[in-house]
């Protein structure tokens, strides 16, 4: 293969020209020839050597950014129940819940959450709310 495509070479040349103080005419000549002041060759316009140095730096920056995101708690929220299950709340206390297969009714001592008020993920709005209330056997809130 004959090196990077022309668009990569052009982009590298444009980046190399920023801050050089070259006039418009000089920039045009440099873009066409890749030479500044009569010497240099492809490296004078940022060529392959500049790219070889930049790639490891960019990869290291991306890896570091990913590590920071993972360590800062930006991971996906943990689901309350697995696929094909729904959560139910224990009657008579603030604690106690279970996951029941979609095709089954809640077991004795548990009730469904009201439609639209079902927690989906650990510590979401409804998970936090339901951990502070007590329900009766019909699902009505009897204490907060």
Per-residue pLDDT of the chain (144 residues; tens, 9 = 90+): 566 655 555 555 556 656 566 566 665 665 565 555 554 455 444 556 666 666 677 777 777 766 655 555 555 689 999 999 999 999 999 888 999 999 999 999 999 999 999 999 999 999 999 999 999 999 999 988
Q: Considering the domain boundaries, does residue 121 fall inside one?
A: yes
pLDDT of residue 11: 55
pTM above the 0.85 mark? no
The pLDDT value recorded for residue 136 is 94
Is 1 within the bounds of a domain? no
Range of the domain at 127: 85-143
Among 45, 71, 97, identify where a domain stops: 71
**What's the alpha-carbon Rg for the chain, to the nearest Å?**
31
- In this structure, the answer to whether residues 14 and 48 fall within a common structural domain is yes
Residue 4: phi, psi to the nearest 5? -70, 155
Domain check: are 13 and 65 in the same one? yes
List C-alpha distances in Å: 53 to 13, 50, 109.
Answer: 15, 5, 65
Asked whether residue 90 falls in the same domain as residue 66, the answer is no
pLDDT at 50: 61
Is 53 a member of any domain?
Answer: yes
Cα–Cα distance, 85 to 114 (Å, whole number): 16
d(CA 111, CA 135): 8
Report how many domains make up the chain.
Answer: 2
pLDDT at 46: 54
Pairing mode of beta strands 97-101, 85-90: antiparallel
Q: What is the pLDDT of residue 91?
A: 95
Chain centroid to CA 61: 15
């Amino acid at each position: 293969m004959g090196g990077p495509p022309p668009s990569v070479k052009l982009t590298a040349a444009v980046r190399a020209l920023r801050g050089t103080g070259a006039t418009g005419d000089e920039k045009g000549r440099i873009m066409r020839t890749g030479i500044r002041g009569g010497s240099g060759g492809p490296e004078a316009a940022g060529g392959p050597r500049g790219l070889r140095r930049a790639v490891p730096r960019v990869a290291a920056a991306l890896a570091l950014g990913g590590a920071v995101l993972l360590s800062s708690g930006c991971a996906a929220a943990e689901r309350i129940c697995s696929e094909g299950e729904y959560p139910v709340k224990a009657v008579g206390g603030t604690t106690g819940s279970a996951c029941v297969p979609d095709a089954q009714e809640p077991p004795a001592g548990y009730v469904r959450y009201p439609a639209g008020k079902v927690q989906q993920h650990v510590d979401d709005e409804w998970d936090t709310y339901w951990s502070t209330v007590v329900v009766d056997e019909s699902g009505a809130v009897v204490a907060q």
